[in-house]
Structure 1
Amino acid sequence: MKALLGQVWPSSGDLDPSEIAAALEVRGDVGRTDLELTFPGAAVIIEAKRGWLLPSFEQLASYAPRITARGGGALVTLSQASHALAATQLPAQVDGVPVLHLPWRDVLDKVDESRRLERGQARAWLDQFSTYLHGVIHVRSVSDSWTYCVVLNNERPGGGGRYTFSQYVTEDLRYFHPYGIGGWPTEPPNFMAFRWQGAVHRIHRVVKADVVPSLLDRWPDIPATEDTVRPHAVYELGPRLPPFEPIMNGASYRASRLWVLLDQLQSSETLAQAMAGTRQLTGRG
């Protein structure tokens, strides 16, 4: 707790741990906070979100009076969003109360730092806490076989740059899509399938995911346009998975984005059959 507080409210480093009180889901007149840390003359309210999501300005504003009433402190957002993404979507302050962001990765780093200073039961507790947090942060289990199937084309993002959309997948093993708009996922899939020319040509596991404020932050050669200078989810793809022969669509899907079970896709003659098998097993797809 002291390590975490030290990152968002450095003056707390002089406090004795007995002076810091932690409260979960504190209900007030305008909502319930996730975590409140209070100490003499100040308070830190932490609002946690799953995935890359961030709280709204209105939600933060509803909590600001609690900080003011304590005499000072900060509002802290906690999610998988990076510092760079949070900086584009969060205000620096709300009604005079500072707004700070913590990626879950920073919390895990603090847990690891604290663990190295402990022995015996305290280290065992921190080991359990780290295991729990990893389970929370990775919202999708690695055994989850839902596969996100999208269409690729030979255009270039922003009309320029080194690669076409298809080449980012086939040559760079990367895929990206707009974040937070148009029904695109707000949590990364475990697997992705890519289709063009009436067939699924590639299946890959997603091995790493991030959200960047702009595609130019990752690929500076991409032209700056309204479509490229906005938050994007970026996926790093693992090696190509079988089958290595095209799986024909078997139906007209145009540019639809589809969810299909991996085993159904790998064992069916067409994407249409895989979708039917997915619906039969899960009622989805």
Structure 2
Amino acid sequence: QDKCYEFLKSVCPEIPVHYEGAIRTKRVGYDVISEMYTDIENVIKTAKGTRGKKYFEKPFFLCEYCHAMGVGPGALEEYWDAFYSSDKLMGGCIWEWCDHAVYHGKDDKKYKYEYTYGGDHGEEMHDKNFCVDGLVFPDRTLHTGALEMKHAYRPVRSVVSGGNTLLLTNTYRFLSTDVLTVKWELCFDCEKVKDGVIDKVIAPSATAEVTLPLGRIPSDRLVTLNIFYEDKNGAEISREQHVLCDAPAAIETGDKKVLLTESDSGYSAEFDNGKIEFSRSTGEI
């Protein structure tokens, strides 16, 4: 390890060298201290210098911090709240990008499922489904974990600071927000009533205050403020939603009977002042 480090520095002295295995040696780390799957509490302790001297002398990097297997990864937002809290924390990487299952096609009668993994092909030595641990399916369509990552990695973070005022923090380190188009929309009971564009340019790592012309917010409606971050081609990078006023806990109804209907897409219940629909495939409202 040391010989490799010395060689790398002789070839390119300015590059930082990272080797996670060093954490289990007396050296602890080279130019970067690295670990895998450190819990958030210890990540915060590392930033504050309360986890031990060896963790505080160099930048801290989680070469793996979330595992995308099954319903994972989880707690991305909490990890990134911690990462942004201290310049000592460099961030981390998710294991891993894509599932590695084998695609057979729906017409392949040999296998029961469209995708197979270890043990499905008669092999005795295998890791079962451990290769199916990515943010995207083998055909590169998105897992829900990829959508969670998209949200956690958003380039701007907004906070409602009161009334019509937003605090926007640019999480880019080297780019201002002039590379983005930031749009907003105000909704009453999920229906858009106002929208606009935030033109303010925010410097890298800076926070700016923005006042929006929202007007009076009713107290008897569900009121949401949606923020959209797009690139200059109009592709959505991420979005945020703030609930300015929650919906009433209960709504009085009349004597009209509830009408239940079933369709190819799902189920619905219609009553005298509203309607609710459930997706047949996902169960979502």
TM-score for the superposition, normalised by structure 2: 0.29
The structure that is helix-richer by fraction is 1
Bigger-Rg structure (1/2): 2
Structure scoring higher RCO (CA < 8 A, sep ≥ 6) equals: 1
TM-score for the superposition, normalised by structure 1: 0.29
